[in-house]
Amino acid sequence: MSDPTKLPEAEAGHEDDYALDKEIVSEVLLALDAQNHARLAQIFDPLHPADIADLLEQVPAADRRDLILFAGPLIDGEVLSEIDESIREDVIDFLPDEQLAEAVRELESDDVVDILEDLDEPQQQAILGALDSGDRIAVKQALSYPEFSAGRLMQREVVSVPEHWNVGATIDHLRGETDLPEQFYHIILVDPRHRPVAYVTLGRLMSSARDVALADIVEDSFRLFRVDEDEGDVAYAFNQYHLISAPVVDEDGRLVGAITIDDAMVVLDEEHEEDVFRLAGVGDESLATSTLQIVRRRFPWLGVNLLTSIIASMVIALFEDVLSAVVALAVLMPIVASMGGNAATQSMTVAVRALATRDLTSSNALRVIRRESVAGLMNGAIFAVVMGVVGYVWFGVPMIGVVIAVAMVVNLLVAGLSGVLVPITLDKAGIDPALASGTFVTTVTDVVGFFAFLGLASLVLL
Amino acid sequence: MSDPTKLPEAEAGHEDDYALDKEIVSEVLLALDAQNHARLAQIFDPLHPADIADLLEQVPAADRRDLILFAGPLIDGEVLSEIDESIREDVIDFLPDEQLAEAVRELESDDVVDILEDLDEPQQQAILGALDSGDRIAVKQALSYPEFSAGRLMQREVVSVPEHWNVGATIDHLRGETDLPEQFYHIILVDPRHRPVAYVTLGRLMSSARDVALADIVEDSFRLFRVDEDEGDVAYAFNQYHLISAPVVDEDGRLVGAITIDDAMVVLDEEHEEDVFRLAGVGDESLATSTLQIVRRRFPWLGVNLLTSIIASMVIALFEDVLSAVVALAVLMPIVASMGGNAATQSMTVAVRALATRDLTSSNALRVIRRESVAGLMNGAIFAVVMGVVGYVWFGVPMIGVVIAVAMVVNLLVAGLSGVLVPITLDKAGIDPALASGTFVTTVTDVVGFFAFLGLASLVLL
């Protein structure tokens, strides 16, 4: 993929085009073993910094330190900012001070902030010390905004002109300016108090006559964000309104920076990962997380699950009589729990996603709850018939079929209901529904399912 | 949020800034009831097309038709392209023909394609008929590319110049051009056979002297895609390499269009939703999906789950003797299944995500498998001690504690192992791991868990 005129397809030819292939990793390790610096540089040269970062993540932890020490100058600022947080600290620890300083000096201030915010105090100081004073002030200013805020996400470099200017004046200004940002897509129009009021795309500017007023060619899509706004809300707005860039203002409404869509895309991706992981009871981890750390991070979720499953077991313990009298119940019991858990996960996932995309609101919540209840009842009825027959045929006792059929209806109804009610309630209470819904919902379906199944069995079969 | 100079925060003041509030929906329904067209127009006027689309999704299905008929001209092409697929067909059915024609005529060809590809043949023909012949040919051409390909995603409108041009010639060309695309960020350099070889950002162009050769100010980030490349791969590359736009070429490498990051962001978002839903056993659905449809779409997943849980029950049935002798086993059994299922979901989710982000590859698969096994063993050992004590204290039989402790270690080890092995195997076999992993993994942990727990109990307690 080094030669941009060459099609990626032509080299690899199937769906894994963008995965680093095993060969590259082995070749890097070979070059490291042979202490062949030229070969290593040759392998790294055509790679994008994001791919070099991936490579460092893929190398076994034992070799990573050697590789970093040996590859040193090949690991520049861009690689540092691409690398996964879980190993970034190590990489920074292993990098000699002067190389680290050189690496961060070449970065834009928002990338330095992104690196700094995850580091320990001493590492932060080392990097801040490496910056020139202007950048250091900018980075410290950015770090003063709350974590996960628009202020942390924005770049300070923006292009703004007075709102009354025309196309010709703006083009002359841009062409006279020597210090334009590396990437910019809009010219921001500001009022005399430096508050952004509109923007013009570069493309529109290029294609308009010199005497046209900027005010006449502004874009409808203009939206602005406050420095303290949550980055998740920013990412949502970029996605919802197809923004490319947007100005950021301070408490007084004055222009302090701009956020571009590529940064919003990264946030969107991180928020998704967080949601998927939280739904599954996984904390912040990646493949580079060490074994001990994943044990420690997954432990609390498993602990909570142990507590809730003990609660479910206590419900079962209430019915020891009927269980010892009719052992078929113990055989069928996990089916009730499993079907309830699955149906609940289905409606819960849809609800959690709809809350995240702001599609589930107070205006349609009642309708969604009703829909899930009816759907739960209907699938419950279908599976009641199926399991009723299976239970009867398997154990030859009609009443066992009846009991599991009724339990199935009750359980799938409760699954549908709790799958949507629990996330909505958590969201109203200000708790991330992705984080806690699963535990609550499966506890409810387990308890209700076992109670319905074994309770009814006690009434009918004892 | 109508006045761009007004801060969103100032109006709502908390995290739900971007959710349509209940009041708007009620007011729309009131205006509809009163047949007050002026009021409706007044409510819609400040809204972004994406918000009007959300509003149509939030209105009860019964009112939606009336609203569409009544609001008619307020539903323009942009609203149509923002609206959720699940209700777009209805909206198009309800819209009078001439309004539909007017709505699609104002759209760019890639948005028309996006609307068309989900519609039935007769609806497609109606819309194609409404387009002027140039657009119709463009849309038909786009539809000839495979679904979910770069060709469907791209816009055909691009700005390209010969690679040997300089800044001055390019600026003059742009300023003389009357038909520039609405949004463009790069000037694409093409060779004499119209194959893209590099690009220059508009910002860089603006800030360079007129006699500078374009070839000297091209961007490193240049990457191109083939028309038939999968849109998921395109979205991955945009995210991985921070692309803003990228040219698309045909089989001969000739420039046929460009993809911009906002389209890639939409794809990324859709792929995430698909992964989350597939992991949870939910198909393609949204809040606007009808009750009957969600019953029908969730049914197959529940059916598969029923089959696998019957398999698990058959394992339990092998041990009826010990279950009727020691009823405590029936009480504790669900804890083993639940802990195994949870631990497996954790490692499976991390593995599925890592496969999606191309972080889990053949070069680190073995290490990840080893890590999951060790982590499973370690958490298994911790919970074995906890449950061993709980089992002993609860039932007063030391051997019950020993049995559940051993089962816990075995089950969490198998959970960690299968959680990563199953997705990797499915991925190798070309099956989407998000789609099928859950079923396989929970079947494995249930079967192994019950077998270990009850089998050991038979040996020790009978």
B296 touches chain A (CB under 8 A): no
User: What type of residue is B4?
Assistant: P
C-beta atoms of B244 and A261 within 8 A: yes
CATH topology of domain B291-461: Tetracycline Repressor; domain 2 (1.10.357)
Query: Residue B302 — φ and ψ, nearest 5°?
Result: -65, -35
Closest by Cβ to A359, choosing from B198, B261, B287: B287
Q: Is the predicted pLDDT of residue B9 greater than 90, yes or no?
A: no
Please tell me which residue of chain A has the smallest CA distance to B57.
A359
CA distance linking residue A226 with residue B25, whole number of Å: 27
The confidence score (pLDDT) of residue B390 equals 96
Q: Strands (DSSP E) along A185-336, which ranges?
A: 186-190, 196-201, 225-226, 245-249, 255-260
The confidence score (pLDDT) of residue B21 equals 66
Q: Which residues from B are below 8 Å from A244, CB to CB?
A: 183, 185, 261-262
Q: Which residues from A are below 8 Å from B241, CB to CB?
A: 48, 50
> How large a percentage of chain B has pLDDT more than 70?
95
The single residue listed with the structure tokens 């994001």 is: A50
Angle at B373 between CA A335 and CA A273, to 5 degrees: 75
Distance from CA of A123 to the nearest CA of B (A): 26
Q: Which residues from B are below 8 Å from A429, CB to CB?
A: none
Mapped onto helix, strand or coil, the DSSP state of residue A428 is helix
The single residue listed with the structure tokens 């739960």 is: A376
Burial B311-333 (b: 16+ CB within 10 A, else e): ebbebbbebeebbbebbbbbbbb
More confident residue, A329 or B63: A329
B275 touches chain A (CB under 8 A): yes
Closest by Cβ to B174, choosing from A180, A207, A345: A207
CA distance linking residue A385 with residue A381, whole number of Å: 6
Q: What is the mean pLDDT of residues B383-405?
A: 96
C-beta atoms of A446 and B195 within 8 A: no
Secondary structure letter of residue A365 according to DSSP: H
The confidence score (pLDDT) of residue A329 equals 96
User: What type of residue is B69?
Assistant: L
Paired tokens of B76 = 């323009």
C-beta atoms of A276 and B375 within 8 A: no
As a residue count, chain B comes to 462
C-beta atoms of A302 and B222 within 8 A: no
Q: Taking a C-beta distance cutoff of 8 angstroms, is the pair A234, A145 a contact?
A: no
C-beta atoms of A312 and B334 within 8 A: yes
CA distance linking residue A152 with residue A225, whole number of Å: 12
Q: Which residues from A are below 8 Å from B48, CB to CB?
A: 240-241
Distance from CA of A125 to the nearest CA of B (A): 28
The confidence score (pLDDT) of residue B183 equals 81
Paired tokens of B50 = 């994406």
Closest by Cβ to B324, choosing from A262, A327, A367: A327
A316 touches chain B (CB under 8 A): yes
More confident residue, B155 or B329: B329
What is the pTM (predicted TM-score) of this model? 0.88
**What is the mean pLDDT, run by run of 10 residues, along chain A of 462 residues?**
39 46 84 90 90 88 86 85 84 81 82 84 84 87 92 91 96 87 90 97 91 95 95 94 94 95 92 91 87 93 95 96 94 94 95 92 92 96 97 95 97 97 95 91 95 96 88
C-beta atoms of A266 and B305 within 8 A: no
C-beta atoms of A343 and B302 within 8 A: yes
Q: Where does CATH 1.25.60.10 sit in chain B? A: 8-144
* Bridge partners, A246 (sequence order): A259
Q: Is the predicted pLDDT of residue B456 greater than 50, yes or no?
A: yes
Closest CA to A256 of A156, A181, A126, A149: A156
Q: Where does CATH 3.10.580.10 sit in chain B? A: 160-279
Q: Taking a C-beta distance cutoff of 8 angstroms, is the pair B413, B332 a contact?
A: no
C-beta atoms of A379 and B295 within 8 A: yes
Instruction: Return the CATH number of the domain spanning residue range A160-279.
Output: 3.10.580.10
Q: Which residues from A are below 8 Å from B19, CB to CB?
A: 358, 361
Closest by Cβ to A4, choosing from B4, B222, B334: B222
The single residue listed with the structure tokens 């996990």 is: A334
How is B405-440 classified by DSSP, letter by letter? HHHHHHHHHHHHHHHHHHHHHHHHTT--HHHHHHHH
Instruction: Return the CATH number of the domain spanning residue range B8-144.
Output: 1.25.60.10
* A residues 393-422 lying closer than 8 A (beta carbon) to B: none
* B residues 216-255 lying closer than 8 A (beta carbon) to A: 222-224, 226, 229-230, 233, 236-244, 249, 253
Which range, of A91-95, B233-237, B403-407, averages the lowest pLDDT? A91-95
CA dihedral B371, B377, B378, B382 (to 10 degrees): 160
* Bridge partners, B238 (sequence order): none
Find the radius of gyration of the CA atoms of chain A.
Answer: 29
The confidence score (pLDDT) of residue A70 equals 85
Q: Where does CATH 1.10.357.20 sit in chain B? A: 291-461
C-beta atoms of A342 and B305 within 8 A: yes
Q: Going by DSSP bridges, is the β-strand pair B225-226/B196-201 parallel, antiparallel, or unpaired? A: unpaired
Mapped onto helix, strand or coil, the DSSP state of residue B178 is coil
CA distance linking residue B28 with residue B30, whole number of Å: 5
Distance from CA of B38 to the nearest CA of A (A): 23
Q: Which residues from B are below 8 Å from A272, CB to CB?
A: 269, 272, 276
Q: Which residues from A are below 8 Å from B335, CB to CB?
A: 306, 309-310, 312-313
Mean pLDDT of chain B: 89
Q: Which residues from B are below 8 Å from A266, CB to CB?
A: 239
Count of pairs with CB atoms under 8 A, one residue in A, one in B: 387
Q: Which residues from A are below 8 Å from B338, CB to CB?
A: 305, 308-309, 312, 337, 442, 446
CA distance linking residue B276 with residue A101, whole number of Å: 41
The confidence score (pLDDT) of residue B19 equals 55
**pLDDT per position as a tens digit, B261-272:** 999 999 999 999
Paired tokens of A238 = 């970029």
Reading phi first (left if > 0) and then psi (alpha if -120 to 50, else beta), residue B187 is in beta
Mapped onto helix, strand or coil, the DSSP state of residue B333 is helix
> How large a percentage of chain A has pLDDT more than 70?
95
Q: Going by DSSP bridges, is the β-strand pair B225-226/B255-260 parallel, antiparallel, or unpaired? A: unpaired
3-state secondary structure chain A: CCCCCCCHHHHCCCCCCCCCCHHHHHHHHHHHHCCCHHHHHHHHCCCCHHHHHHHHHHCCHHHHHHHHHHHHHHCCHHHHHHCCHHHHHHHHHHCCHHHHHHHHHCCCHHHHHHHHCCCCHHHHHHHHHHCCHHHHHHHHHHHCCCCCEHHHHCECCCCEEECCCEHHHHHHHHHHCCCCCCCCCEEEEECCCCCEEEEEEHHHHHCCCCCCEHHHHCCCCCCCEECCCEHHHHHHHHHHHCCCEEEEECCCCCEEEEEEHHHHHHHHHHHHHHHHHHHCCCCCCCCCCCHHHHHHHHHHHHHHHHHHHHHHHHHHHCCHHHHHHCCHHHHHHHHHHHHHHHHHHHHHHHHHHHHHCCCCCCCCHHHHHHHHHHHHHHHHHHHHHHHHHHHHHHHCCHHHHHHHHHHHHHHHHHHHHHHHHHHHHHHHCCCCHHHHHHHHHHHHHHHHHHHHHHHHHHHHHC
CA distance linking residue A87 with residue B75, whole number of Å: 50
**pLDDT per position as a tens digit, A310-366:** 999 999 999 999 999 999 999 999 999 999 999 999 999 999 999 998 899 988 999
Q: Is the predicted pLDDT of residue B4 greater than 70, yes or no?
A: no
CA distance linking residue B115 with residue B135, whole number of Å: 14
Paired tokens of A95 = 């990098």
Q: What is the mean pLDDT of residues B227-243?
A: 94
CA distance linking residue B103 with residue B298, whole number of Å: 35
C-beta atoms of A298 and B379 within 8 A: yes
Distance from CA of B43 to the nearest CA of A (A): 16
Find out if CATH 1.25.60.10 is the number for domain A17-144. Answer: yes
* B residues 377-396 lying closer than 8 A (beta carbon) to A: 378-379, 382-383, 386-387, 390
Q: What is the pLDDT confidence band of residue B128, given thresholds at 50, 70 and 90?
A: confident
C-beta atoms of A378 and B291 within 8 A: yes
The confidence score (pLDDT) of residue B415 equals 97
- Residue of B359, B420, B462 to mutate for A, most A C-beta atoms under 10 A: B359
C-beta atoms of A265 and B266 within 8 A: no
